[in-house]
C-alpha cells in the first residue's frame, strides 16, 4: 500500500468518526432541549398553582359557602392566617353533602376532617389550610 492509500483510509475513518460524533451530539442536544421544555412547563404549572393557592379571596369564599347552612348549625368558626377550624352540629345528609362539595371546590388542604353520625344527624369538624 502506498502512503496515499493509507492517508485516504485514515481520513475516511476520521470523517466517519466525526460524523458519528456529530449525530450523537445532536441527539443529546435534542434530549436535553426536550427535558428543559418539560421542566419549564412544570415550573409554569407550579407558578399557576401557587397564584391560585395564594388567592386573597379564599376567606370570603369560605364564608360564602357557610351561608348555605343555617347559623344555628354552625357550632364554631375560627379563621387565622390561612387556617380555618369549622364545626357543625345536627347537619342533615343534604346539608353535609352541600357544605363538603362547596369546600372541596376551593383550593383548600384539609388537615382534619371528621364526620360522625348521631341518630340521623351528622356532626362535622374541619381543619383546613390554604
**How far is 121 from 89, CA to CA, in rounded Å?**
8
Check: CB of residue 122 under 8 Å from CB of residue 115. yes
Single pTM value for the model: 0.55
Question: Are residues 73 and 17 part of one domain?
Answer: no
- Domain extent at residue 40: 1-54
| Rounded distance between C-alpha atoms, residue 59 and residue 42, angstroms | 28
- Over the chain, what is the mean pLDDT? 90
Q: Are residues 66 and 114 in the same domain?
A: yes
pLDDT tens, residue by residue, 66-118: 888 888 999 999 988 888 999 999 999 999 999 999 999 888 889 999 999 99
pLDDT tier at 42 (50, 70, 90 boundaries)?
Answer: very high
Same domain, 16 and 67: no
Q: Are residues 63 and 33 part of one domain?
A: no
C-alpha cell at 24: 450523537
Domain count of the fold of the chain: 2
Quickly count: other Cβ atoms within 10 Å of residue 4's Cβ.
8
**Shared-domain flag, residues 62 and 48:** no
Is a pLDDT exceeding 80 seen at residue 64?
A: yes
CATH number reported for the structural domain that contains residue 79 in this entry: 3.30.70
Amino acid at each position: 500500500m502506498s502512503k496515499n492509500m493509507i492517508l485516504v483510509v485514515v481520513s475516511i475513518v476520521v470523517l466517519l468518526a466525526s460524523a458519528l460524533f456529530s449525530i450523537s451530539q445532536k441527539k443529546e442536544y435534542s434530549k436535553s432541549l426536550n427535558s428543559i421544555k418539560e421542566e419549564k412547563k412544570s415550573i409554569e404549572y407550579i407558578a399557576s398553582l401557587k397564584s391560585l393557592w395564594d388567592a386573597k379571596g379564599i376567606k370570603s369564599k369560605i364564608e360564602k359557602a357557610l351561608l348555605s347552612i343555617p347559623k344555628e348549625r354552625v357550632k364554631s368558626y375560627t379563621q387565622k392566617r390561612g387556617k380555618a377550624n369549622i364545626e357543625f352540629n345536627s347537619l342533615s345528609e343534604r346539608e353535609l353533602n352541600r357544605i363538603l362539595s362547596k369546600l372541596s371546590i376551593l383550593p383548600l388542604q384539609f388537615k382534619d376532617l371528621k364526620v360522625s353520625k348521631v341518630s340521623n344527624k351528622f356532626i362535622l369538624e374541619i381543619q383546613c389550610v390554604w
